[in-house]
Structure 1
Amino acid sequence: MSGPATEAFALDDTDRKLLRALAEDATQSSGALGRRFGLSQPATWRRIKRMEQAGVLAGRRLDLDLKRLGFGVTVFLGIRLATKGRASLEEFERAVSAIPEVQTIEHILGVYDYRLRVAARDLPDFERVLRRRVMTLPGVGSVDANVMLSEERLPGPL
């Protein structure tokens, strides 16, 4: 789940503007972005490519409307492992990554070892995922669930 520590990448004001614009709509062409910010298409493309190669732009993703796809319940799970150690962490991460309903896996510091975001069709579907998939994961000690009632702020640019 985690990678090696890396140095901060130096961004100028134009890079920041490009990042904000791409965070709003990642489908914009380098030509359109260049016109918007007073750059040529090749210069804009080079800036974006440089940020991709440095890992600043780690990818582009498609945001799905889970409710329209039939997933009406989102639950956040706090997972505390019964045993801790490098092997048990890796084994848990590998197993939980295979559960399609788990949208995010966060290794955290605090009361829990992991925080999961789980999408389910409804509460009975979530109970099935919890009992048959999550509770059977290697090393799971305890689980705490919080059902999301609403989401007021969606992820956006920094």
Structure 2
Amino acid sequence: MIDLDATDRAMLRALSKDATLSAGALGRRLGLSQPAAWRRIRRMRDAGVFRGHRLDLDEGALGFGVTVFLGVKLAAKGRASLVDFERAVQAIPEVQTVEHILGMYDYRLRVVARDISDFERVLRRRIMALPGVGSVDANVLLSEERRPGPL
């Protein structure tokens, strides 16, 4: 774990809103020189604070009008069944996130589809055919008020 001061945290907030900001722009925003801002970014990157850069796409604008959260219980919970399930589910492009969780379900999936009939096709042909799937519970997303952001 890395020690972060107030400037580091301010830098992370700014980058989480716009990851394209240059070290110079961050420095100007935070009252640092470009080299000082770059050194802080590099120190945090080297410490593993950043997991990478990603583009936040608008699913609706791309034609994906339905988001469904699935709770998946595996029929058997051996190490091999977990590995087989995880490997197979990662190959389904409609599955946006795979979370191994503790509680009522073994996994929580975020699935996008063009519409309900497209989701039904994904569910029947891909998800229910995954190795080890015992039962599935679905929750359709109605609206999303807050997306994951800065800690």
Q: Which residue of 1 aligns with 2:15?
A: 22
- Matches of 2:79 and 2:143 in 1, distance apart? 36
- Matches of 1:43 and 1:137 in 2, distance apart? 50
How many matched pairs? 151
1:100: how far off?
0.1
1:104 aligns with 2:97: yes
3-state SS, counterpart of residue 27 of structure 2: helix
Kindly provide the amino acid, as one letter, of the partner of residue 138 in structure 1.
P
- Matches of 1:52 and 1:58 in 2, distance apart? 8
TM-score, scaled relative to structure 2: 0.98
Kindly provide the amino acid, as one letter, of the partner of residue 61 in structure 1.
R
1:81: how far off?
0.4
Q: Which residue of 1 aligns with 2:79?
A: 86
3-state SS, counterpart of residue 55 of structure 1: coil
User: Residues 57-136 of structure 1 correspond to what in structure 2 (within 5 A)?
Assistant: 57-136=50-129
- Matches of 2:44 and 2:81 in 1, distance apart? 35
TM-score, scaled relative to structure 1: 0.93
Aligned-residue identity in percent: 76
Gaps of 5+ in 2: none
Gaps of 5+ in 1: 1-7
Kindly provide the amino acid, as one letter, of the partner of residue 3 in structure 2.
A
- RMSD of equivalent CA atoms: 0.7
Displacement over 2 Å in runs of 4+:
none
